[in-house]
Structure 1
């Protein structure tokens, strides 16, 4: 399913190509690209639920922004996102790339991924997909895109 999301993001969204809205046509194209229908349906449902997250009434916790709270991860969230991934989310919050609601959207979408392995690189792409789909976060999207594609200069210590 994650491969389909990446395919859609790279070929339609990120490339600024007009997105095909007809699910049947999109399903046929993805099938021709070698993806299985069941995985295609899961990926399209994942994207629809991402769009639904913008409706604050469907997820009221996304509108409550406690300034001094600390995010405590559930056991399931910690099993999916390792310490490095959780630390990366904190780092993005400290940079201002993510705020309270977008962080929760990212966690929600990560938990809905149907993938046995989840890496920090996968997390970066989920963050990018979430930021792209949330109006008013264009600067954060650009900043995250820079973080995703930047090459390290010099010697890393």
Structure 2
């Protein structure tokens, strides 16, 4: 499923540039993806579209996405969320929030879509793809440092 999502992310500039799901299914099939992978990815994308409805976000500037005083509340994850996401994914979500690049509304969509993803716990690389897809759906590109964190291989980085 995640290979299909990465293909969609790389080939369609924004979520609104992506064709309708039935047309996307034909394109994915023509590119050689397995029918089961396509179906799973399309169901996941449909869930992303449903979760994103009625969400209005401000422009993605740091100042507007930074935590507001009214956002000082704390998100408590259920036991099922903790088990399915695992410590690595929960820590990464917390990192993105504290960096001011994942507002509460997007965090909830990320958690919703991660809960719909396979894996127990969800691998951190899969969560990073989910975060990219949520940004993609809203037409926002993360800044270069966050994009590097989402796309880069942490094991290949050199410490300075």
Coarse TM-score class (shorter-chain normalised): 0.7 to 0.9
Q: Give the superposition deviation at 1:153.
A: 3.6
Please report how far the alpha carbon of residue 28 of structure 1 lies from its aligned counterpart in structure 2 after TM superposition: 2.6
Report the equivalent of 1:72: 76
Aligned residues: 142
TM-fit CA distance, 1:99: 1.1
Moved over 4 A (4+): none
Q: Does 1:152 align with 2:157?
A: yes
Q: Distance in 1 between matches of 2:147 and 2:102?
A: 13
Kept in 1, the 8 Å contact 2:4–2:38? The answer is: yes
Question: Is 1:4 matched with 2:4?
Answer: yes
Equivalent residue, structure 1, for 2:125: 121
Aligned pairs (5 A) from 1:1-157: 1-13=1-13, 19=18, 21-56=19-54, 67-115=71-119, 118-134=122-138, 137-138=140-141, 141-143=142-144, 144-150=146-152, 152-154=157-159
Please report the RMSD computed on the Cα atoms of aligned residues, expressed in angstroms.
2.8
Task: Calculate the TM-score normalised by the size of structure 2.
Answer: 0.72
> What TM-score does the superposition give when structure 1 sets the normalisation length?
0.73
Structure 1: give runs of 5+ residues left out of the alignment.
Answer: 58-64
Structure 2 stretches lacking a partner, 5+ long = 56-68
Q: Does the CA contact (< 8 Å) of 2:83 and 2:121 recur in 1?
A: no
C-alpha change, 1:78 and 1:37, in structure 2 (3 Å) is same
Which has the bigger relative contact order, CA under 8 A and spacing at least 6?
2
